Amino acid sequence: MRTITIDDRRSIVNIILRILNKLDPEGEHLGTTDPEEVLEAVRQQSPDVIFSDVEMPKMNGIELARQLQEIDPETNIVFITGYQEYMGEAFDLYASGYLLKPVDEIQVRKALDHLRYNKAGNSKPEVKVQCFGNFEVFINGTPLFFHRSKSKELFAYLIDRKGAVCTNDMIIGNLWGDKPLTESLKSLQRTVTAEMIKDFEAKEIKDIILKSKNGISVNTKVIDCDYYHYLEGGEQAQRQFKGEYMTQYEFADETRNNLLKEY
């Protein structure tokens, strides 16, 4: 399960994160004091639950919930407050729960057991990407077989670019940098790209690669990626990074070095 907790007091965020990590040690639990970070995280990925304080200085929880529901109408929102007076507004927004401070493990467990929207029940295949260590891709927990090793490398490069559009020349330069640019090489690059897309389509995943007139990019909203969670400040991802990043690919050296500077 993926959760985001927001409260203007970091101490409250940390308490709830400790509870969530105890109840769901395999999940990804993020915490912040900035509402804009929550909005951006929901735009990029679709978390299962948002735990949100009601009274916050930058943007109160009710307004945050309204904006979240515009992005994703089926966002599970669990409000946290020291006052019951907001309960009516909370349930008008179809909130999934309402916790009174001080929050304890029993309250959080009940909230998780009675969520309004069961996102885990979505039949769409789950794509999990592992960047720390060797690069790997999993579909519903099973490694994805790429018919061409270069197709797997291409997908890794798109992941490394974090959703930025990559032109054919950029792709060739990073994946075949030691070879002269020829028409034959351009044709090979197009074939590798097409085969990569076919490998995903064979698993009924058709929206992971975005095409534009300038090139292609990865749709970051439909993947669960340790590298992206690390950049968002995810505690579990922070623990997972041991200094290794896409170890089999030379193009990843720059990102790897940048990560090591902060390690």
The architecture that CATH gives domain 2-121 is: 3-Layer(aba) Sandwich (3.40)
DSSP category for residue 246: S
Q: What is the mean pLDDT of each run of 10 residues along the chain (263 residues)?
A: 92 95 88 92 86 88 87 87 63 71 89 77 73 94 94 98 95 92 94 96 91 92 91 85 96 95 81
Sign of CA dihedral 243, 249, 254, 255: negative
**What pLDDT is stored for residue 87 in this prediction?**
56
What six digits make up the tokens of 263? Answer: 């390690």
Q: Do residues 29 and 235 make contact, with C-beta atoms less than 8 angstroms apart?
A: yes
CATH number, domain 127-262: 1.10.10.10
**Tokens 């401070």 correspond to what residue?**
101
Could you tell me the CA-to-CA distances from 99 to 53, 77, 104, 253 in Å, in that order? 9, 11, 9, 45
User: What's CA 8's distance to the chain center, in Å?
Assistant: 23
* pLDDT at site 123: 47
List the one residue out of 27, 48, 54 whose CA is nearest residue 118: 48
Cβ contacts of residue 208 below 8 Å, gap of 6+? 127, 200, 218, 219, 222, 223
d(C-alpha 67, C-alpha 49), whole Å: 15
Domain positions in the chain are 2-121, 127-262
Among residues 143, 190, 202, 231, which one has the least CA distance to residue 175?
Answer: 190
Q: How far apart are CA 76 and CA 96, in angstroms?
A: 6
The length of the chain, given as a count of residues: 263
The secondary element (H helix, E strand) that includes residue 181 is: none
- The answer to whether domain 2-121 and domain 127-262 are alike in fold is no
Q: Is 60 helix (H, G, I), strand (E, B) or coil?
A: coil
